[in-house]
Structure 1
Amino acid sequence: MGVDVAAAGHDNGKSNTNLGGILSGLAVALGLVLFLGGFGWAAVVYRPYTVPTSSMAPTIDIGDRVLAQRVDGGEVRRGDVVVFRDKSWVTNANVVKRVVAVGGDTVSCCTEGKLTVNGKQIEEPYLPKGSLAEIKNFPTVKVPQGRLFLLGDERQGSLDSTAHLTDAASGTVARGAVSARVDAVVWPMNGMLKRPTGFEALGSLSQPGPLRIIVLMVVGGAVLVLGGGAYGPIAKRMGRSRARSRTEPVSAG
């Protein structure tokens, strides 16, 4: 009794193709979950903003598009770049500034050209190159509890807390006015903001949001979808190539 070698090889190739199809489908399904899940997570956690002024340059330039994590004002810490709204500053408009002092802090400018918070000189590498904090010289302010003192990184032209020192709250903003904390500049693609390490001596810094994880999910999902989707046509083409190169069936017996 003979054994048809070509038929056996054909059956084996068909099994491999079926297994590959299953794995391909699983890759596409997992990719879609990651891809859509990443976008969904981002929509819940982040909000996009366009910054209309240069008051935060060079960290954020005029016209830059940023992603800001939705946070409660109680989560804000020194060094954070935040989005807030205060009618005594600008009516019905969001403002982006850096928190340099929180409730209970004493802030002033300047000592040896540096911002001083609670008697400590703060290193601010995010300021424009060659500039000094003393460009925005202002007297000592005791920040009331539950409020924030904010400055722009471009100190010379920023309408920040120092422009409202004569207000009843000495230029401070309520924590409840904050709606988001800026994590990254996405257009142009400058990436995540650098951590404000100069404030570490005064307490812990905010932890970055989940943006890096979200990006990995979206990119990884896209790769799986494209790779899994491309497997079918590639497998069929390879199968046809093998069929053309296969020799005539050989029977043994």
Structure 2
Amino acid sequence: MSASSGTAPPGSRTGNVLSGIVVALGFVLLVGGLAWGAWEYRPYTVPTPSMTPTIDAGNRVLGQRISGDEVRRGDVVVFKDRAWGDETLVKRVVAVGGDKVACCTDGHLTVNGKQIAEPYLPTDAAHRGTRVPETSVPKGRLFLLGDERAGSLDSTAHLDDVARGSVPRSAVSARVDAVVVPWRGMLERPSGFAGLPGGISAPGPLRQLLGSVVLGAVLILGGAAYGPLARRSALRRAARRRREAATSAV
């Protein structure tokens, strides 16, 4: 029976099966990655330049949903506190409950007497902040600064409050993992805080999530293209075999 009678060559049938499997796997990875991302992350728009140069005003960021107990020094977090105007803000955690923080002797932040390397700050000394006397952070609370220290309304603007400029851990709703609009990539965890008790937080799953989505899309496109290509190849082989058989019969 010829291929024109409606029966697909064996190679074509195998190609269709493999194509279906690859497309199905790609669909699982793509949809699973998108669903995982929707559950794990939330987009935010940063309203002010207080985190410049790390994050500029108007940038869109992705924040991983976390509880306040997961926050570590150096994290850039999204939070809202009534004492700060009850607005959604983005700042960097530089000290946690029990720490003694001061800024900025010789241009350096100190936590528990340790100078912290902060390569993410502006290089212009005029934007590295004003002096802050040593402050003890109450238990269960966080001390936050903007990376653009001179123009940031952060914990330094609330030092006279009862909480000495700190906010409760429960005020935090997310940790910023990446700047996505415009794309500036993942935020690095600052190693300057690594030597303090508790260390720094581990990177979020954003890279794995994006990898799942991209791989899924590639498999869907590749699998969809493989079926027709396999069928065409099988038809060519079948036609060649028929020609060879006809030549042998002469």
Fold match (TM-score > 0.5) = yes
Provide the residue aligned with 1:60 in structure 2: 55
Give the deviation of 1:120 after TM superposition. 0.6
TM-score (ref. length: structure 1): 0.90
Provide the residue aligned with 1:201 in structure 2: 195
Provide the residue aligned with 2:182 in structure 1: 188
Structure 2 gap ranges (5+): 3-7
Provide the residue aligned with 2:217 in structure 1: 222
Q: Distance in 1 between matches of 2:243 and 2:75?
A: 70
- Is 2:28 the partner of 1:33? yes
3-state SS in 2 of match to 1:39: helix
Paired residue type of 1:123: A
Identical residues among aligned pairs (%):
61
Paired residue type of 1:214: L
Q: Distance in 2 between matches of 1:143 and 1:248?
A: 86
3-state SS in 1 of match to 2:183: coil
Q: C-alpha offsets along residues 144-198 of structure 1, whole Å, 9 cap, x if unaligned?
A: 0000000000001100000111111011000000000001111111111012111
3-state SS in 2 of match to 1:44: helix
Paired residue type of 2:195: A
3-state SS in 1 of match to 2:157: helix
- From 239, 243, 249, the equivalent of 1:247 is 243
Corresponding pairs, count? 245
Q: Which moved more, 1:77-86 or 1:200-209?
A: 200-209
Structure 1 gap ranges (5+): 1-5, 8-12
Query: CA 1:132–1:198 in structure 2 vs 1: closer, same or farther (change >3 Å)?
Result: farther
Provide the residue aligned with 2:88 in structure 1: 94
- C-alpha RMSD of matched pairs (Å): 2.4
Give the deviation of 1:44 after TM superposition. 0.6
Provide the residue aligned with 1:167 in structure 2: 161
Q: Distance in 1 between matches of 2:229 and 2:33?
A: 28
Q: Distance in 2 between matches of 1:132 and 1:76?
A: 29
Provide the residue aligned with 1:3 in structure 2: none
Paired residue type of 2:101: V
3-state SS in 1 of match to 2:150: coil
3-state SS in 2 of match to 1:201: coil
